[in-house]
Amino acid sequence: METYYEWKSTIKINIFVLKLMGLWAKIDDSRRFNLYSLYTVITIIFFLYGSTIPQILYLVFVRTDLDTFTKLMFNMMTKSLLCMKALCLLQNAKIIQRLVESMNCDLFQVKTIKHWKLIRPALLIWRTTYFTFWSLATVTSSMWSIAPILDKSFKEHILPFLALYSYNIKKSPLYEISYVHQVIGLFITATTDTNLDSLIAALMMFIGAQCDILCDNLRNVDYKRFKEQLKVCMKHHKEILSFAAESNHFFNMIALGQFFTTGVSVATGMFRLSMVSPMSNESYCVLTFVTSMVVQVFLYCWFGNEVELK
C-alpha cells in the first residue's frame, strides 16, 4: 500500500507544479475565461513567450556571428521547444486530465503485495531521475541568473541572455525590469520543462507497470474461475491499449521534438565548451545545461523502451 501511495504522489507533484505554472485548468473550465485563465496568460504568454521571442529575434540578427550564435543557440532550442510543449498541453488538456483520472479506475489498482513489488523498481528509477533532472535544472537556471553578477557585467547593463527589445535596456529601471523578467521566464521554463517531461515519463511508467500487473494476473489465473478472470484480464488489456493510444496522441510530437532539440542542443553546447575558458562561469553553466539535457532525454529513452519491451 505504501508503494501505491508513493506512485500516486509522484504524479501529483507534477500536476501541482503545472497548476502553479498555469497549465492545468479544470476540464469544465478549459474553454472559459476566468482568473486562472488570466494567470495562465501572465505566466505563459508574458513570462515564457515574452522572454523567449526577443531572444529568438536577436538570434536572427546575429546569425553570421558564430560566437554569439552558438552562445544563444543551444539554450534557445530548449526554450522554443518548451513553448511548443506548453501549447500542446493546453490544447490537449482534456486528454491528459482524462488519462490522470482514469488511473483511479478499479482495473488499474494495485491489489497484491506482488504487484507493489513489480512497480517499485520503475518508481525508484523515475523518482531518482526526476530529482536529478530537477536539481540540474535548478542549478543551471540559478547560475545563468546570477552570471552577470558574478562576472560584474551587470555594471555594463548586460542581461543574462542577449535579446532584442524595442527600448534601450541600458537605462534604469528598464534594465532591472528586463533582468527580472528574463530570470522569472527562465525559472518558469526550467520548472515547467522538468515537470512536464516527468509527467510524460510517469505515464509511460504507468503503462509498463500495468503490463507487468496484467502478466502477473494471467500467470495466476484461478482455473475454477477461469472464464470470469480471463474476461477481466481481456478488459484490462483493452484499457491499457486505450490508455497507451491516448498517451501517444498527446506526447508523440513532443517526444520527436525533444530528441531533435536534445541532439542539436548537446552538440552546440559541447562546441560552446570548446570556445570558453574551462574555469569560467559560462563553462559551468553550459556543462550543467548539457548534463541536464542528457538526463532529460534519458527519461524518454528509458521509460519508452520499457513500454516497448513490455
173 upstream amide cis, omega within 30 of 0: yes
* Alpha-carbon span 175 to 186, nearest angstrom: 16
Task: Report yes or no on 110 lying in a domain.
Answer: yes
* Alpha-carbon span 74 to 275, nearest angstrom: 14
Cα–Cα distances in angstroms (integers) from residue 210 to residues 115, 122, 217, 245, 255, in the given order:
9, 12, 10, 14, 22
* Alpha-carbon span 134 to 136, nearest angstrom: 6
Q: What is the CA radius of gyration of the chain?
A: 22
From the CB of residue 269, how many other CB atoms can be counted at a distance below 10 Å?
22
Give me the domain span that covers residue 166. Answer: 7-309
The tens-digit pLDDT sequence of the chain (310 residues) is 444 445 566 778 888 888 888 888 766 554 566 788 888 888 888 998 988 888 888 887 877 777 777 778 877 888 888 888 888 888 888 888 888 888 878 888 787 788 888 888 888 888 888 888 889 889 888 988 888 888 888 888 888 888 888 888 888 889 999 999 999 999 999 899 899 998 888 888 889 888 988 988 888 888 788 888 889 889 999 999 999 998 888 888 888 888 988 888 888 888 888 887 777 777 888 888 888 888 888 888 888 888 888 8
CA 30, 31, 34, 39 torsion: positive or negative?
Answer: positive
On whether the CB atoms of residues 10 and 130 are closer than 8 A, the answer is: yes
Task: Report yes or no on 1 lying in a domain.
Answer: no
On whether the CB atoms of residues 81 and 52 are closer than 8 A, the answer is: no
Task: Report yes or no on 2 lying in a domain.
Answer: no
Task: Report yes or no on 98 lying in a domain.
Answer: yes
Residue 277, pLDDT score: 79
Task: Report yes or no on 218 lying in a domain.
Answer: yes
Opening angle at CA 20, ends 190 and 58, nearest 5 = 40
Report the number of distinct structural domains present in the chain. Answer: 1
The helix or strand, by DSSP H or E, that contains position 245, with its residue range, turns out to be helix 226-273
pTM: 0.85
Task: Report yes or no on 57 lying in a domain.
Answer: yes
Task: Report yes or no on 21 lying in a domain.
Answer: yes
Residue 216, pLDDT score: 87
Task: Report yes or no on 302 lying in a domain.
Answer: yes
* Alpha-carbon span 244 to 96, nearest angstrom: 12
Q: What is the distance, to the nearest Å, from the Cα of residue 27 to the centroid of all Cα atoms in its chain? A: 21
Cα–Cα distances in angstroms (integers) from residue 9 to residues 15, 179, 243, in the given order:
10, 35, 20
CA atoms within 13 A on the CB side of 241: 6
